[in-house]
Amino acid sequence: MDSEALRKYSALHPKPAGLTLQYGTAGFRTKAELLDHIVFRMGLLAILRSKAVAATIGIMVTASHNPEEDNGVKLVDPLGEMLHPSWEEYATQLANAEEQELQKVVTEICQKAAVNLHKEASVFIGRDTRPSSEKLSQSVIDGIQVLGGQYHDYGLVTTPQLHYMVCCQNTQGQYGKATLEGYYEKLSKAFMELIKQSHCSGESQRHLKIDCANGIGALKLSEMKSYFPQEMLIHIYNDGTKEKLNHLCGADFVKVHQKPPGGLDMKPNERCCSFDGDADRIVYYYKDTAGHFHLIDGDKIATLISIFLKELLAKVKQNFKMAVVQTAYANGNSTRYLQETLKVPVHCVKTGVKHLHHKAQEFDVGVYFEANGHGTVLFSKAAETKIRQLVKEEKDEEKREAAKMLENMIDLINQTVGDAVSDMLVIEAILALKGLTVQQWDALYSDLPNRLLKVQVADRRVIDTTDAERRALTPPGLQEKIDALVKMYKLSRAFVRPSGTEDVVRIYAEADTQENADALAHEVSLAVFHLAGGKGAPPQP
């Protein structure tokens, strides 16, 4: 390691005094002007990680659904998955090291993680459309070059596209070609193969309005348009030419405010969807003839995909184990519908994509979505091999056709991470194949009314939870209080959990009516305020 070069370059990317940041599920995120030293150091870390695992690592410069002024950076592990938890610690140490300790921290990481500095290293870089992203990815490159690594800068890509490229590269092309063309070709080919088998002539023209959050999704969808079949008519809104990224639009805005985005004019019963700023989340919605807004969130997307996959799995008659993975935020009626009507096992895990992804890997077919619209489907190696074998060798026509559809689903789904473009094509194909309208999809079950609140506290660590965050262990008396409150309302449940990023406690409540859900959420927030060290004035109803 060239200590002189490290010292010289590090001085060009100085750390602001007193700033400490934590690497979380979303990597690092903060105001863009505070990130220069962080991204430089993540360039260093990506090289160390690459040398440690002898594979290509990804670095994505994005702050997803955050405001345009923010930015962030996260690392992608060899199979397109999130950075290993032990390396999240190293990322935090490296980011917060003072200038004069930087070399020492790098050396310590090398020792702890058995990094051989003489090994080759390679990194793939991607960035979103924020004004600050280009300069920050240049700082990433500085970090990479100090430690003498190879890199390929993909420039503007969606977050899931970068995850995809990294996976393709490290599977020697088995997962696909590590180029944008390779991504577009693989997905569009699988999509066309699937909808070839749809017999619904009623909606031969598949109109879909897409709100791209004024982000990268608009650019990449425009590039992909020429790969789509004629009958797929997509109309792109909030394409970034006029307004700010994520401002009054995007999946997060629509989900939180339960209303359509600005910049998209909705007619009754039109199918619409929204991506988030880096295109790894998607939600659908429509307005009925009475003008009421209907949101179709991640829970309902998981349900639609599960119905379709379960039917196909029944036809191929292999004993594949299928399950849906949710978090405590999943609507109670979605869980009921999956377990009682569809008879699909449902598992609840802690909030955060990495927990869902990890659990989904335990099954032959693992479907996971967060209510916010981030999710995908994972197929085990054994299931994938068997399905591809049935396509080639199965004599029974019905079985072979079902296997063929499953094979196309495997190719259409981005298994590395939630991907709005891929998920959108999966949903569009299923609706076409089942001849379903957006209203029929929505009518599978009705969501229980719910309410999300947050309470500011002096220290979020006073709350400790168990049972996938559904029960509070501390402070004493809080869970008993919540249990007593829940008993007062029909079809109700409530839970509290500390935020991962700020001194806030998040509260979720659902009940038979909106009025009751609101009342329950308020009473639970008062209990949190009094028992967990609330700050400021008590919550008002």
Map residue 285 onto helix, strand or coil: strand
Beta strand 293-296 pairing with 272-275: unpaired
| CA–CA separation, 194 and 201 (whole Å) | 15
- 184, 406 Cβ separation under 8 angstroms: no
CA distances from residue 294 to 209, 374, 408, 510 in whole angstroms, order as listed? 15, 19, 30, 18
470 labelled binding-site residue: no
Phi-psi domain of 399 (left: phi exceeds 0; alpha: psi -120 through 50; beta: other): alpha
SS3 content of the chain, % helix, strand, coil (to 5): 45, 20, 35
| CA–CA separation, 348 and 355 (whole Å) | 10
Beta strand 464-466 pairing with 471-474: antiparallel
DSSP state of 534: B
Class of residue 244 by CB neighbours under 10 A (exposed 0-12, middle 13-18, buried 19+)? middle
CA distances from residue 30 to 36, 42, 163, 463 in whole angstroms, order as listed? 11, 15, 22, 24
319 labelled binding-site residue: no
Residue 380 a catalytic site member:
no
206 labelled binding-site residue: no
Contacts (Cβ under 8 Å, ≥6 apart) of 343: none
Catalytic residue, chosen from 3, 10, 50, 64, is 64
64 labelled binding-site residue: yes
215 labelled binding-site residue: no
**SS3 labels along 328-372:** CCCCHHHHHHHHHHCCCCEEEECCCHHHHHHHHCCCCEEEEECCC
| CA–CA separation, 431 and 305 (whole Å) | 10
278 labelled binding-site residue: yes
| CA–CA separation, 342 and 314 (whole Å) | 12
252 labelled binding-site residue: no
- 500, 469 Cβ separation under 8 angstroms: no
- 283, 273 Cβ separation under 8 angstroms: yes
276 labelled binding-site residue: yes
Reference 213, options 270, 280, 261, 155; nearest CA is 261
190 labelled binding-site residue: no
Known binding positions? 64, 276, 278, 280, 370-372, 497-501, 506
Q: Which residues are annotated as a binding site for substrate?
A: 370-372, 497-501, 506
- Which residue numbers are catalytic? 64
Instruction: Please state the residue numbers annotated as binding site for Mg(2+).
Output: 64, 276, 278, 280
